[in-house]
Amino acid sequence: MTRRLPRSFYARPATEVAPDLLGHVLVRVLPDGTRLAARLVEVEAYEPDDPGSHAFRGMTARNEVMFGPPGHLYVYFTYGVHFCMNAVTRRAGEGSAVLLRAGEPLEGLDEMRACRGRDRPTELCSGPGRFTQALAIARPENGVDLVEGDVAWVERGRRSGTTAVGNRVGVHDTTRSWRFWVEGDPFVSPGRPGPPTPKRRVRASPPRP
């Protein structure tokens, strides 16, 4: 039996692949052979007809990997400081991916600490920018094959806990609740302004005294 998730796993809508990824293990092998691993606990889906997606306005040099075949890593640079990584989903030409937002460190914690400059396990892979930094994933890793390559892949892991659903972080769209995480898992990212669970609509403020 093989532990690695096959191409067919990724060749589905991101909204299906995303929750299914929770519990599986992202493995990253550094150039020197060091193996790092983290259990996925928080992801977000980005679909073709989705204004919040980089792919929404068509293919560009930046997002071309998103339009390639499924099972590849789409890495992009943001805020002039950080990298974020995604697993490409659906079929070539469609433009869809799952953002890997957080993981529980399993192997290579000291290497991750060196990359991150932090010690606490919850500060290693809990957040999309942190996650890529901990695994030493940046521009050179954009486009790597997660199914046949030897740089990074996803192995089958055990599903545990309940899957929670909410709005995506930093995406101003309350109609697509495509963020998925393991309920109560301590390695889920803090999500700055507070985890974007479905927002309540607030009524006009009451009369002042």
Partner DNA sequence: CGTTGGATTGGCT
Partner DNA sequence: GCCAATCCAACGC
Contact residues: DNA, CB under 7 A: 44, 46, 52-55, 57, 60-63, 66, 74, 76-82, 84, 86, 97, 99, 116, 118, 123, 127-131, 168-171, 189, 192
Output the smallest distance, CB 204 to DNA, in A.
Answer: 22
**Which CB atom, from 5 or from 87, has the smaller least distance to DNA?**
87
Distances (CA, A) of 1 to 5, 7, 160, 163: 11, 15, 21, 27
Output the smallest distance, CB 103 to DNA, in A.
Answer: 11
**Which CB atom, from 69 or from 156, has the smaller least distance to DNA?**
69
**What b-and-e string marks burial along 99-119, b requiring 16 or more CB atoms within 10 Å of the CB?**
bbbbbbbbebbebbbebbeee
Output the smallest distance, CB 2 to DNA, in A.
Answer: 27
Output the smallest distance, CB 172 to DNA, in A.
Answer: 7
Count Cβ atoms below 10 Å from residue 197 Cβ, excluding itself.
13
**Which CB atom, from 32 or from 191, has the smaller least distance to DNA?**
191
**Which CB atom, from 9 or from 76, has the smaller least distance to DNA?**
76
Q: Which residues contact 89 (CB under 8 A, 6 or more apart)?
A: 10, 11, 12, 13, 14, 17, 45, 70, 96, 97, 98
